[in-house]
Amino acid sequence: MSWAAIYSRSFSYRFPHSPVSARVSRKLSTLSTPSSQRTKRSPFIALGVAGGVAVVSAFFFWPDTSRSAPTYKDATLSPSHFTPVTVLASEQCSDPNTRLITLGVPKQSLPSLSQTSFSPIWSIFIKDDDIQVERTYTPLEGIDSEGRMKFWIKKYPKGEVGKWLHSKKVGDTIEIRGPLMTWPWQDDIWDEIVMISGGTGITPFYQLLHHTLLSSQQKMTKTRFTLLHSSRTPHELPPADILQPLLSHAQAYPQDLRVTLYVDSLDETTTQHPDLRVSRIGKPDILSALGVNDRRRWWSKLFGNSSPSTLEKNKKILVLVCGPDSMVAAIAGPLGRNMSQGPVSGILGELGLNEEQVWKV
């Protein structure tokens, strides 16, 4: 298989779960009673237990505030309500489990795109009307002046919203709400941004790069970007709509963007290519992306100065990580309670990076 043919391949990524399980745990913990206080039983205790059961039942069956948000056909797009939009395109990728889906916001609902809420990185909620469940998705190129948004969406065996979206045809109507800020980009704050992604975790980074580098002939920021992207096989790499612009820009402007692709293994019909590394993203790859070479690592081992943040103390470096939970945990440490950032650990923690230098998207 030619390298150009590889560009048409695609990969999967499971977006972070909503914090429902954490909310359940908190609610159940408030209902639990120490064993020392359960020795006596009375009608009042029985009534309290019954009330507790009622509260738990209400938690599971009472409509979520977001799912029960109103739907407005003529109002401007907003996180506080749902807006009906139209499926403009649904393109099958080489991986039958992924599709490139384009949605169109009607003109009467299109807000001013100069709003800061449309600065990268942002996402929207898409609601499955059949089961009243919503999930977040990141528009690859943001939203254009005509209200078009393109998404790379994966369906999973147990992912109802993804399967529901894959079943939609051109002309169908679905409901969305947003935009929702994922990470606030600011011009010229960072000297270097290293992005590490797995599967469809590349979508927020593509949005950022499209905004800062790809959508204009003139570079909009002094920041230099490095993208390390991992897939299981070449067959599961992102489609050409995503990869080709990135690789072309990196080749033309290596001082602005570097892209390295990783796969766990090669397909039977795929031969080794210099731009494709058969390995997982590890500590040496991240050190290289941070500008820490082997010679400096040897020096730091001798003199006890191994932190990239110390070695490059005159440089403002940020690492963004987005991918499957296991990958994020291995590289930057797991997310905290209620999808909070949590402490930095994993490879980046070992390298001495702190919470100000790492963001789990």
Q: Rounded distance, CA 168 to CA 115, Å? A: 30
Q: What pLDDT score was predicted for residue 115?
A: 76
Q: Let me know whether 196 and 341 are in one domain.
A: yes
Reported as a single tens digit per residue, the pLDDT across 254-268 is 999 999 999 998 877
CB 19 within 8 A of CB 103: no
**CATH label of the domain that carries residue 237:** 3.40.50.80
Residue 358 pLDDT class (50, 70, 90 cuts):
very high
CB 199 within 8 A of CB 231: yes
Q: Let me know whether 176 and 210 are in one domain.
A: no
Q: What pLDDT score was predicted for residue 12?
A: 36
CB 331 within 8 A of CB 196: yes
CB 231 within 8 A of CB 323: no
Q: What pLDDT score was predicted for residue 325?
A: 94
What residues make up the domain containing 166? 83-181
Q: Rounded distance, CA 309 to CA 95, Å? A: 40
Q: Let me know whether 147 and 233 are in one domain.
A: no
Domain boundary among 138, 160, 181: 181
116 vs 99, which has greater pLDDT?
99
Res 132 pLDDT > 50: yes
Q: Let me know whether 154 and 113 are in one domain.
A: yes
| Average confidence (pLDDT) over 39-56 | 41
Q: What pLDDT score was predicted for residue 25?
A: 39
Residue 125 DSSP SS3: strand
With tokens 């590490």, the residue in question is: 196
**Cα torsion through 119, 122, 123, 124, rounded to 10:** -50
> Could you tell me the CA-to-CA distances from 19 to 24, 99, 337 in Å, in that order?
9, 26, 8
Residue 312 pLDDT class (50, 70, 90 cuts):
low
35 vs 208, which has greater pLDDT?
208
| Average confidence (pLDDT) over 13-17 | 37
Residue 31 lies in a domain: no
Q: Let me know whether 198 and 160 are in one domain.
A: no
Res 125 pLDDT > 60: yes
> Could you tell me the CA-to-CA distances from 182 to 166, 307, 322, 354 in Å, in that order?
24, 28, 11, 19
> Could you tell me the CA-to-CA distances from 236 to 165, 177, 318, 354 in Å, in that order?
20, 29, 27, 32
CB 229 within 8 A of CB 262: yes
Q: Let me know whether 170 and 281 are in one domain.
A: no
Candidate ranges 92-96, 249-253, 266-270, 308-312; pick with highest mean pLDDT:
249-253
Residue 100 lies in a domain: yes
Q: Let me know whether 136 and 250 are in one domain.
A: no
State pTM to two decimals. Answer: 0.78
Structure-block tokens of residue 311: 């070695």
Q: How many domains does the chain have?
A: 2
Q: Let me know whether 198 and 173 are in one domain.
A: no
232 vs 208, which has greater pLDDT?
208
Q: What pLDDT score was predicted for residue 352?
A: 93
Q: What pLDDT score was predicted for residue 51?
A: 46
Domain boundary among 137, 154, 181: 181
Q: Let me know whether 224 and 290 are in one domain.
A: yes
> Could you tell me the CA-to-CA distances from 62 to 55, 59, 290, 323 in Å, in that order?
10, 6, 48, 32
For residue 316, give the DSSP letter. Answer: -
With tokens 């609610």, the residue in question is: 27
| Average confidence (pLDDT) over 68-96 | 93
| Average confidence (pLDDT) over 19-35 | 37
Range from 36-40, 218-222, 299-303 carrying the lowest mean pLDDT: 36-40
332 vs 13, which has greater pLDDT?
332
Q: What pLDDT score was predicted for residue 295?
A: 47
Reported as a single tens digit per residue, the pLDDT across 188-224 is 899 999 999 999 999 999 999 999 999 987 777 899 9
Q: Rounded distance, CA 289 to CA 353, Å? A: 14
Q: Let me know whether 344 and 264 are in one domain.
A: yes
Q: Let me know whether 238 and 338 are in one domain.
A: yes
Domain boundary among 181, 202, 227: 181
Residue (of 246, 270, 151, 249) closest to 261 by Cα position:
246
215 vs 37, which has greater pLDDT?
215
Residue 281 lies in a domain: yes
Q: What pLDDT score was predicted for residue 99?
A: 96
| Average confidence (pLDDT) over 281-295 | 85
Q: What pLDDT score was predicted for residue 266?
A: 86
